[in-house]
């Protein structure tokens, strides 16, 4: 049986494949390791390039763009391995990057998933926004990382080089037991893209499985290769999916109070976008809230199932306070300054 299957999801990313796939091939050699590219219905020359320039890579072909979530769900139906790596196409890996991840999960059966340390490809001395040295979440659903609070990204000086339990591992380089992935239902395809890995990790943590960051493994991530940060579509998906994630996973005694506060915070976010002359993003937040109200009931059965299977109600890596309060009022700009998460 295959030990590790590295699965890269591609959609019209032929230049990314040419730039970054060689490092994956070069630094991921070994018995029981396979590299797959799942093509999400590309209309560029991606498939031709893969067949001609990367014949050692296993190719999985889909007829249409299924999004990040269902793209990986479909790909992992065709994979049989102990561990799988969901690896973005814009990630450059480093020598022996897999070894610490494999070794740790081999000796820690309670851990379902992990991630390497993620540095920025553009500036390789600093952490990358989407993952850094492991993800956490606050009471109201705002994600943050060791090495990144809000928009402040720290320089990596080794300050987060300890292996650490986290709430979520980034979908840019998610190393996970295939058995655990399937047992909790994989990524939620209705998210399409954004927040789906946090939702997956929340289900894992609630069911008693652990997630860690292993900074002895390092990769470099471009980030924003598909949708730029200021893209209204990305804003819409982030806000809508975050609300859905909260509804799916929050304990019953928190749901109403958290959602009330989130409503206020979302309208504040709209106002901030307007003040920044970003009307399309403000509109995207409003549309996200409207769509959430429409589709919420379709997630009720999943919510009930999640609550039924919860064995860890209070997850330590989900802080009780607000990261917005910590950042903007307490003026704590670095993760290391959050000495008491829950004050």
pLDDT computed for residue 339 by the predictor: 63
**Residue that is last in its domain, among 201, 221, 241:** 221
pLDDT computed for residue 11 by the predictor: 95
Backbone φ and ψ of 138, nearest 5°: -100, 180
Do 211 and 264 belong to one domain? no
Q: What is the 3-state secondary structure (H, E, C) of 27-70?
A: HCCCCCEEEEEEEECCCCCHHHHHHHHCCCCEEEEECCCCHHHH
Give every CB contact of residue 314 below 8 A, 6+ residues apart in sequence: none
Do 27 and 169 belong to one domain? yes
Q: How many independent structural domains does the chain possess? A: 2
Domain containing 28 equals 2-221
Is 293 a member of any domain?
Answer: yes
pLDDT computed for residue 227 by the predictor: 45
Do 154 and 275 belong to one domain? no
Do 253 and 114 belong to one domain? no
Rounded average pLDDT over 211-224 = 94
Is 325 a member of any domain?
Answer: no
Is 327 a member of any domain?
Answer: no
Is 84 a member of any domain?
Answer: yes
Question: CA nearest 34: which of 24, 22, 49?
Answer: 24
pLDDT computed for residue 186 by the predictor: 97
CA distances from 107 to 100, 103, 104, 110 (A): 11, 6, 5, 9
Above 90 in pLDDT, residue 229? Answer: no
CA distance 246 to 141: 7
pLDDT computed for residue 224 by the predictor: 61
Q: Indicate the pLDDT class of residue 340, thresholds 50, 70 and 90.
A: low
Do 193 and 44 belong to one domain? yes
Do 187 and 244 belong to one domain? no
Residue-wise pLDDT for 248-258, tens only, equals 999 999 999 99
Do 174 and 306 belong to one domain? no
CA distance 307 to 252: 8
CATH number at residue 207: 3.90.550.10
Q: Indicate the pLDDT class of residue 223, thresholds 50, 70 and 90.
A: confident
Residue-wise pLDDT for 257-306, tens only, equals 999 999 999 999 999 999 999 999 999 999 999 999 999 999 999 999 99
**Residue that is last in its domain, among 221, 240, 265:** 221
Do 92 and 161 belong to one domain? yes
Residue burial 223-238, b: 16+ Cβ < 10 Å; e: rest: bebbeeeeebebbbbb
Residue-wise pLDDT for 155-212, tens only, equals 999 999 999 999 999 999 999 999 999 999 999 999 998 999 999 999 999 999 999 9
Do 174 and 296 belong to one domain? no
Q: What is the pTM of this model?
A: 0.94
Is 331 a member of any domain?
Answer: no
Do 67 and 137 belong to one domain? yes
Do 85 and 129 belong to one domain? yes
Do 106 and 247 belong to one domain? no
Q: Indicate the pLDDT class of residue 341, thresholds 50, 70 and 90.
A: low
pLDDT computed for residue 193 by the predictor: 86
Is 163 a member of any domain?
Answer: yes
Mean pLDDT across the chain, nearest whole number? 94
């Amino acid at each position: 049986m295959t030990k590790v299957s590295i699965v890269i999801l591609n959609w019209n990313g032929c230049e990314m494949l040419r730039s970054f796939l060689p490092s994956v091939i070069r630094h991921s050699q070994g018995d029981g390791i396979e590299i797959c590219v799942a093509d999400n219905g590309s209309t560029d020359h991606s498939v031709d390039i893969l067949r001609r320039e990367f014949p050692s890579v296993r190719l999985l072909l889909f007829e249409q763009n299924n999004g990040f979530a269902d793209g990986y769900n479909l790909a992992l139906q065709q994979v049989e391995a102990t561990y799988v790596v969901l690896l973005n196409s814009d990630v450059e890996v480093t020598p022996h990057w897999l070894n610490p991840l494999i070794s740790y999960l081999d000796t820690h059966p309670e851990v379902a998933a992990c991630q390497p340390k993620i540095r920025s490809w553009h500036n390789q001395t600093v952490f990358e926004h989407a993952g850094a040295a492991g993800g956490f979440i606050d009471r109201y659903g705002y994600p943050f990382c060791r090495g990144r609070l809000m928009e402040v990204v720290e320089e990596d000086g080794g300050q987060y080089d300890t292996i650490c339990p986290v709430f979520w591992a980034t979908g840019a380089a998610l190393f996970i037991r295939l058995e655990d992935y399937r047992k909790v239902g994989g990524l939620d395809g209705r998210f399409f893209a954004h927040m789906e890995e946090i939702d997956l990790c929340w289900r894992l943590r609630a069911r008693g499985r652990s997630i860690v960051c292993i900074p002895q493994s390092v990769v470099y991530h471009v980030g924003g290769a598909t949708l730029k940060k200021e893209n209204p579509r990305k804003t819409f998906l982030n806000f809508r999916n975050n609300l859905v994630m909260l509804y799916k996973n929050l304990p019953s005694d928190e749901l109403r109070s958290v959602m009330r506060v989130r409503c206020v915070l979302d309208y504040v976010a709209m106002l901030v976008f307007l003040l920044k002359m970003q009307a399309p993003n403000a509109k995207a937040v409003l549309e996200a809230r409207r769509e959430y109200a429409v589709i919420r009931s379709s997630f009720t059965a999943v919510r009930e199932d999640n609550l039924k299977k919860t064995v860890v109600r209070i997850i330590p890596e989900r802080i009780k306070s607000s990261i917005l309060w910590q950042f903007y009022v307490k003026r704590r700009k670095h993760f290391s300054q959050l000495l008491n998460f829950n004050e």
